[in-house]
Amino acid sequence: MNVQPRTIAVIDDDRRVLESLVNLLASFGYKADSYISAEQFLGSGTLSRTSCIITDIEMRQMNGLALLQYVKNSNSAVPVIIITGKPSETSSFYLERGAIGFFRKPVDGDVLLELVSSVCT
């Protein structure tokens, strides 16, 4: 039986941030796939093979909060980590809605990796 590895989905409409996060995760041995939008991620059909989602909040069309709500409403246990450069709410706002972490850009890579290692298996 061929079992596909689970991956971390990184979603951000800023290609530099996206590339930086994927490279950081890859340098620590994680398989990370990049998506330029929530719609691109959901359209890929990979939610069931995803071990963790790291998503920006401020994106065109479907934002990170809407993605978080979609994941929760689909009864998926995939943990969601929120990142943003322009926080409009406090971290508790996102944590109360089901996110397992909240980071302001620039993201502290060490703290992000610590969270990823504890929840994204």
Residue 63 falls inside a structural domain: yes
The CATH code of the domain that includes 82 is 3.40.50.2300
Residue 1 falls inside a structural domain: no
Regarding pTM above 0.85, the answer is yes
Residue 56 falls inside a structural domain: yes
Residue 105 falls inside a structural domain: yes
Task: Provide the pLDDT for residue 87.
Answer: 66
pLDDT of the chain along its 121 residues, tens only?
Answer: 444 456 999 999 999 999 999 999 999 999 999 999 999 999 999 999 999 999 999 998 999 999 999 999 999 999 999 999 876 778 899 999 999 999 999 999 999 999 999 998 6
Separation in Å, CA 49 to CA 41, 42, 63, 69: 12, 12, 21, 18
DSSP tag of 4: P
Structural domains counted in the chain: 1
β-bridge pairing 50-56 and 32-35 = unpaired
Residue 13 falls inside a structural domain: yes
- The parent domain of residue 57 ranges over 7-119
* E strand or H helix at 106: none
Q: Tell me: cis bond preceding 106? Omega within 30 of 0 counts.
A: yes
Task: Provide the pLDDT for residue 118.
Answer: 93
